[in-house]
Amino acid sequence: MAEQPLEADEVAGVVPPEMAEMFEPADAPAENAPQRSGAGGPVILKDRYMLDTATPLTEFDSPSAKAYMVEDRRDLGRKLFALICSPEIPTRLSTIRKQKEDESPGRLDLVDWDVIYWPPLGQRTMAVIYGRPLGGRVQNRLARKETKITEYDVPRKLAEPLASVLQNMAAKEAPHRAIRADNIFFLDEDMTEIAVGENVTSPPGFDQPTIYEPIERAMADPTGRGVGTTHDDIFALGVTIGILVLGHNPVAKIKDDDLILARLDQGSYTVIFGNSRIPLPLLEPLRGMLNDDPAARWDYNEISNWLTGQRTTAAKKKPIKKAELPFSFRGKEYVSPRALARHFSEKIPDAVKAASDDTFEVWLKRSLGAAEMASAVNSLIQNAKFHKDGYQGKDEFVVCNLCMILDPSGPIRYKSVAFMPDGFAPMIASEMLHNNQSQMVGEILSHDITSTWFNLQSPPFPGTSELRANFSTLKGFLSIKEIGYGLERALYEINPSLPCHSPLIAHDYVLLIEHVLPSLDAAAGHADTNQRPIDRHIAAFIAARFDQDIHPHLKALGSDARDTSIIGLLSLYAFLQWKLREQQVLGLASWVGGLLGPAINSYHNRITRGDIEKEIPRLVRKGSLPELFDLVDNAERRKDDRDGYAEARAEWLAAEEEVRDIEGAGDERITKAERAGQQAAAVLAIVITLTVVTLLLILQTW
Amino acid sequence: MARAATRSPAKGPGITAWLWAGGLVTMWGIVSPSSLLIISLGMLPALVAYFCDRTEQKYALFCVGGLNFSGVFPFLLKLSDDHSFSAAMNIMSNVFSLAIIFAAAGFGWMMFISIPPVVASFLTVLAEARVKTLKSIQKKIVDEWGNGVSTTDQGAAAVVPHMADDEDAD
């Protein structure tokens, strides 16, 4: 788990190599003047802001986004910088929108944002423009001893403004989830006003080192730490205050894994600040803010009481559950079930063996005094034995549930991932798109693993009912295999900030539904136009982002019949262009037009087919998909074709019947012909007779 | 049908008809025994044709009988000069007379045998021409509507949503 702000070498495992250069250490000396690197040129955002690709501002880099100089062409004196987001990491789009609309004091001013082509990356990505904090990072200024924050300054200079802005943000937007010592800035050069840094370029908690995260979220993968609550911001605030006051991170040298084990064993405050000289006035506030029990952790009321000098409740320390005797697992001894759960999840086959052994049940009952836990583990093992051929009998499923029983408030640990339920969205984005673990994500949903976790929470996890409903919806999508549904649909439904990851348009960072057709139009220039301009990602993205009912279009698109499928594709894109009032899409029209063969051939009348084929180039030149659709699948023309076909068929069958009547008669026809000949001979004979008789009578008379 | 017609035995005249016929012939024999002799002997080929033709229509009877009568009729006219039985006997014992009568009947047989194949060939040519016309019509239909029109498959057309439907829904 990468717990520190991503270093260049750590980034290699998360993002493609070509983007690793973006993730250089964020903190550079504050006095670093903009340096021209000479890469690329200026990029214009919304015809106003000029982003200089050659002038990185490393002192404003975020762990997941590099900073570059920005010039406001309408206000040249304005100091701005842009954060260039990693295309591979989901951003917090709704927070970006809210922050842009609402100018809230105490946080960096989000001026504007857009998706732009960024030459150093060679693709489009999101750029977020901020007002430049003139005083730089608080941590850097303190480190250089250019200013000092004493324990007496903390409430007024640090805690009050930060708590105020965090409370305000939580009420208006969402918890900040990126509060850390290096993300606090001085807004002015005199270093009197501080502000929290950005929190939008990565998922909540993603950039946080583990010490800033409450223990249960710290144990989750960075992508799965979750949206969190104000309790999580308060924990991070407590750690931030402690580190800024001390001037250093007292546990910087301890490995993340050891730190988490120690925190599980002794409590977060004791491990992080227990051996540091925390000033006396800050002892109680930090203990309160770093309480590992979210229910007992200080809230903003307690902080307010502390800041205003009112009486505060002493931090109630919930005793950590420990066994009298240790349980030995793979040579190590554990007294905490939470620590044991963490290691069980790392050694799955061994964990199943250990849990199946009677000694484990005895240890839980007698040494830990957790008879209910022992009973739950026993039921789990029995259930696994009963369903040994089903997924309930699989080691991964058993260990996942075992960990939930041992550490109910900890993250869900399934196979290689650990995530909080409210962090499921960025987790599946990461696992599906970068680690190719779609099957595992599908199993999490189909096995109702999150449901089990919710059932074990006491008190209930915040937002449980909403999360349960979300997971139920996602499971519904998963059960439909057609294009436009499935895991891809779940991915885009639950990640509203995720750009479309179809290989056709991934380089265009298609974040909004309005960008789909223009991107496909551009892709027509370089894509293999023998392939369809759609795949499961694009269909799911449109279904998730488009506010119209496109179910009939998807149904047609998913048809096995090629003609129906291609008409479904055209109808979907035509509907998009029509509803979104999109401009002409010449490339896409040409691309789709070239694939319409099966659709044209679905007309029976070859003259109609010829007419349509002749008309297509004209409409392709207009770039109008609705007109193209109307040409190919005009209802009236279809009806005429159907009716004409029925008539033609009846006519053909009538002719066929007559031909068969003539040809198929055989002997009967010959007999009929002979009979007709005999009749003719008889008639001729009568005529001759009458003529002869008449002539003879005439001659006789004369 | 033709086979049925040939196979089904022609329902013979009833006894009343035979009695009437017998009465008439007796009357005819009393009034004009000479003409009865010529007719009864001269029209023997027609009688043979009647029995040979097992069809219901009895075209052979019409064909042979008609021309047979043409051969007999001139000799019936001769009786207008001498209506005696001996004159009739002279006619019927004359080889030349008999030759004329039976040659006429033979010509009838010849017509009955030779005309049907000619007519059948003519009708076949007409039928072939009709078949050619029909197949040409079928080819034109297939050219315009495709091979599907000549199969039992209805060739279901694509069912896709229409934007007009969406517009209505709005």
Structural domain total, chain B: 1
CB pairs under 8 A between A and B: 188
Angle at A651 between CA A650 and CA A652, to 5 degrees: 90
Residue B154 lies in a domain: no
Residue A123 three-state SS = strand
Contact (CB<8Å) B116/A670: no
Q: Are residues A30 and A168 in the same domain?
A: yes
Q: Which of A675, A687, A697 to mutate to test the interface with B (most CBs of B within 10 A)?
A: A675
Q: Are residues A671 and A595 in the same domain?
A: no
Residue A553 lies in a domain: yes
pLDDT in tens, A139-151: 999 999 998 888 8
Q: In whole angstroms, give the CA distance from residue A139 to residue B16.
A: 141
Q: What is the mean pLDDT of residues A574-589?
A: 92
Q: Are residues A617 and A678 in the same domain?
A: no
Contact (CB<8Å) A606/B162: no
Task: Please name the helix (run of DSSP H) or strand (run of DSSP E) that holds residue A333, with its range, or none.
Answer: strand A332-334
Cβ–Cβ under 8 Å, residues A132 and A81: yes
| Residues of chain B positioned with their CB less than 8 A from the CB of A660 | none
| Residues of chain B positioned with their CB less than 8 A from the CB of A558 | none
Residue A365 lies in a domain: no
Chain B, nearest residue to A655 by Cα = B134
Task: Please name the helix (run of DSSP H) or strand (run of DSSP E) that holds residue B66, with its range, or none.
Answer: helix B59-78
Cβ–Cβ under 8 Å, residues B145 and A645: yes
| Residues of chain A positioned with their CB less than 8 A from the CB of B151 | none
Residues near A450 by beta carbon (within 8 Å), at least 6 away in sequence: A412, A421, A424, A444, A467, A468, A471
CATH classification of the domain holding A31 = 1.10.510.10
Q: In whole angstroms, give the CA distance from residue A580 to residue A514.
A: 7
Buried b (16+ CB within 10 A) or exposed e, B77-90: ebbeeeeeeebbee
Q: Which domain holds residue A695?
A: 667-702
Residue A428 lies in a domain: no
Structural domain total, chain A: 3
Residue A227 lies in a domain: yes
Residue B53 lies in a domain: yes
Answer whether residue A337 shows pLDDT above 90: yes
Residue B23 lies in a domain: yes
Q: Which domain holds residue B32?
A: 13-143
Shortest Cα distance, chain A CAs vs residue B155, angstroms: 8
Helix axes A230-246, A160-172, angle to 10 degrees: 160
Contact (CB<8Å) B164/A635: yes
Option in B124, B131, B163 nearest A659 (CB):
B131
Residue A627 lies in a domain: yes
Answer whether residue A225 shows pLDDT above 70: yes
Q: Are residues A618 and A685 in the same domain?
A: no
Counting every residue written for chain B, the total comes to: 170
Residue A405 lies in a domain: no
| Residues of chain A positioned with their CB less than 8 A from the CB of B57 | 675, 678-679, 682
Q: Are residues A685 and A537 in the same domain?
A: no
Residue B37 lies in a domain: yes
pLDDT in tens, A362-416: 999 999 999 999 999 999 999 999 998 899 999 999 999 999 999 999 999 999 9
Option in B119, B144, B163 nearest A648 (CB):
B144
Which pLDDT belongs to residue A3?
A: 32
Q: In whole angstroms, give the CA distance from residue A629 to residue A218.
A: 53
Chain B, nearest residue to A677 by Cα = B116
Contact (CB<8Å) B157/A682: no
3-state helix, strand, coil in chain B (%, to 5): 80, 0, 20
How buried is A416 (Cβ within 10 angstroms: 0-12 exposed, 13-18 middle, 19+ buried)? middle
Mean pLDDT for back-to-back runs of 10 residues, chain B (170 residues): 46 83 91 91 93 89 94 91 88 93 94 90 88 93 86 51 46
Q: Are residues A691 and A628 in the same domain?
A: no
Q: Are residues A180 and A122 in the same domain?
A: yes
Residue A196 three-state SS = strand
Q: What is the mean pLDDT of residues A416-420?
A: 95
Which pLDDT belongs to residue A672?
A: 81
| Residues of chain A positioned with their CB less than 8 A from the CB of B78 | none
What percent of chain A stands above pLDDT 90?
A: 76
The answer to whether the complex's ipTM is over 0.95 is no
Cα–Cα separations (whole angstroms), residue B35 to A648, B29, B50, B79, B88: 68, 8, 21, 7, 7
Q: Which segments within A57-197 are labelled E, that is strand?
A: 65-72, 80-85, 110-118, 123-131, 136-137, 184-186, 194-196
Shortest Cα distance, chain B CAs vs residue A696, angstroms: 7
Q: Three-state SS string across A604-625, please?
A: CCHHHHHHHHHHHHHHHHHCCH
Question: Concatenated DSSP letters for A350-419?
Answer: HHHHHHHSHHHHHIIIIIS--HHHHHHHHHHHHHHHHTTTSGGGSHHHHHHHHHHHH-TTS-EEETTEEE
| Residues of chain B positioned with their CB less than 8 A from the CB of A631 | none
Which pLDDT belongs to residue A466?
A: 95
Option in B119, B134, B161 nearest A673 (CB):
B119
Option in B63, B65, B155 nearest A681 (CB):
B63
Which pLDDT belongs to residue A670?
A: 79
Residue B95 lies in a domain: yes
| Residues of chain B positioned with their CB less than 8 A from the CB of A678 | 55, 57, 59-60, 63, 112, 115-116
| Residues of chain A positioned with their CB less than 8 A from the CB of B127 | 662, 669
pLDDT in tens, A623-653: 999 999 999 988 899 999 999 999 999 999 9
Q: Give the CA dihedral A297, A300, A304, A306, nearest 10 degrees.
A: 10
pLDDT in tens, A249-291: 999 999 999 999 999 989 999 999 999 999 988 999 999 999 9
Which pLDDT belongs to residue A37?
A: 46
Q: What is the Cα A614 distance to its own chain's centre?
A: 43
Q: In whole angstroms, give the CA distance from residue A347 to residue A415.
A: 10
How buried is B142 (Cβ within 10 angstroms: 0-12 exposed, 13-18 middle, 19+ buried)? middle
Contact (CB<8Å) A651/B118: no
pLDDT in tens, A649-679: 999 999 999 988 887 666 777 788 888 889 9
Question: Residue A38 carries which DSSP code?
Answer: -
Q: Are residues A606 and A702 in the same domain?
A: no
Which pLDDT belongs to residue A343?
A: 93
| Residues of chain B positioned with their CB less than 8 A from the CB of A689 | 66-67, 69-70
Q: Are residues A119 and A267 in the same domain?
A: yes
Q: Which of B160, B165, B170 to mutate to test the interface with A (most CBs of A within 10 A)?
A: B160
C-alpha gyration radius of chain A? 37
Q: Are residues A684 and A563 in the same domain?
A: no
Contact (CB<8Å) A549/B112: no
Chain B, nearest residue to A701 by Cα = B77
